[in-house]
Amino acid sequence: MGQMASMFFNKVGVNLFYFCIIIYLYGDLAIYAAAVPFSLMQVTCSATGNESCGVEADTKHNDTDPCWGPLRRVDAYRIYLAVFTLLLGPFTFFDVQKTKYLQILTSLMRWVAFAIMIVLALVRIGNGHREGHPPLADFSGIRNLFGVCVYSFMCQHSLPSLVTPVSSKRHLTRLVFLDYVLILAFYGLLCFTAIFCFRGDSLMDMYTLNFARCDVVSLAAVRFFLGLFPVFTISTNFPIIAVTLRNNWKTLFHRDGGTYPWVVDRVVFPTITLLPPVLVAFCTHDLESLVGITGAYAGTGIQYVIPAFLVYHSRKDTQLALGYGTINKHRSPFRHAFWVGFVLLWAFSCFFFVTANIVLSETKV
C-alpha cells in the first residue's frame, strides 16, 4: 500500500498516508497492550476467592475492588501490563522474522476458540439458559457502532494474500465475494449467539471472558483457555505490529541516500514506538473506547479515505496510459465515480458519529 501511495500521491499525500498508518498502528498496540493485562486481571482476580471462576455472572467490578490481599484490581492490571511490556517490549528493538509457524499456530488457536465459543453459546441457548432478550433496535448504540465496524475490517488484511497467488483472474470477483460472504456469516453467527446467550449489560468488552464463568463452562481447562485466549494470540501479534510501526516511522523520515545514526535507528525509533501505547494502556483499559476511536479515526483513513483516493488517481493514470475507451476486463462493478464519493461520505459519517459518541459520553460524566 505504501508503494501505491508513492506512485499516485505527491509528497504531502505520502506523508499523510504514513501518518495515518502510524496512528492506526499506535491504536492497535494500545488495544493489545490493554487487552492482555485486562484478560489476566479478569481471570486471576476474584472478589469471592474462587480462583477458578474469576469472572462472575452478575458482579460488576471496579478498579478499586480488591484482587489479592491489599492489591486492588487496577494494581494487578498494571503489574500485568509491566510484565507484558518487559517480556514483549524488547522485540521492538530487533527484527522479527520467520514467524510462519507461529502465525499458523495462532490461526489454529483462533479457529478453535471461535468454534468453542459458538458451540457453547448455541448449546446454552438450546438448553433454555439464554440470558439475552435484545430489543428490536437500540439506537443508543449507533454512535459507537461505526468505529467498531470500521475496526472489524481486519478481515481485509488477508485479501492481498488471496488475490496475489491467483494466476487467472477470471473468477477473482467471485472469489472475493465468497470470501466476504464467509466473513459476514462468521461475524453474524458470533454476534447473534452472543446477544441471545448473554445479557447486554453483562457482556464484557473482551467477549472470551464471558466464557470464564463456572455457570457457562463447567470444565476448568476450557474456561482458562478461553479466558486467556487473547493473551496467547495478541502476545504473538504485538511484536510484529510493533516492528511494523517502527519501520513506518523510519520510512516517514527516510531521505534518499541517507542513513540513520545507530542511536536513532536502534534506540529512538523503537522507544517512540513502544512508549505511547503502553502509556495509553496504563491510563485506561476501556477496550470499547479504544477500538471505537482507533477504528473511527485512523481506521477510517486506512479503510475508506486512502483507498478511495488511490482508486481515483489510479484510474486517471490508467486512462492516460492505456487511452480513453480501453476496457479493462478485470474492472470493478463499483467502477463509477459515484462510489468513490459514497465511500468518502461514509467515512465522514463514521468520523461524525464516533466524535458525537465521545462528546456525549463525556457530557454525561
Q: CB under 8 Å to 297, separation ≥6 — which residues?
A: 23, 27, 351, 354
Residue in the block written with cell 520510512: 251
CB 181 within 8 A of CB 114: no
The parts of the chain modelled with pLDDT lower than 50 are 47-51
- Of 150, 105, 179, whose CA–CA distance to 306 is shortest? 150
pLDDT digits (tens, 9 = 90+) for 253-303: 877 667 888 898 889 999 999 999 999 999 988 887 787 777 778 878 888
- Dist. CA 237–CA 178, nearest whole Å: 27
Determine the pLDDT at residue 77.
92
Q: Is the dihedral of CA 248, 253, 254, 260 positive or negative?
A: negative
CB 354 within 8 A of CB 147: yes
Determine the pLDDT at residue 4.
79
Q: What is the pTM of this model?
A: 0.81
- How many degrees, rounded to 5, is the angle at CA 358 between CA 354 and CA 362? 165
Residue in the block written with cell 486506512: 302
The amino acid that residue 104 corresponds to is I
Q: CB under 8 Å to 281, separation ≥6 — which residues?
A: 30, 33, 34, 37, 81
Measured in degrees and rounded to the nearest 5, phi and psi for residue 324 equal: -70, 145
Determine the pLDDT at residue 282.
94
Determine the pLDDT at residue 80.
94
The hierarchical CATH code for the domain 1-363 is 1.20.1740.10
> What distances in angstroms separate CA 240 from CA 21, 141, 246, 265, one per listed residue?
15, 33, 10, 17
DSSP result, 297-359 = IIIHIIIIIHHHHHHHHHHHHHHHHH-TTPPPTT--TT-SHHHHHHHHHHHHHHHHHHHHHHH
Determine the pLDDT at residue 302.
82
> What distances in angstroms separate CA 243 from CA 136, 158, 225, one per listed residue?
44, 19, 28
Extents of the domains making up the chain: 1-363
Determine the pLDDT at residue 30.
92
Determine the pLDDT at residue 94.
85
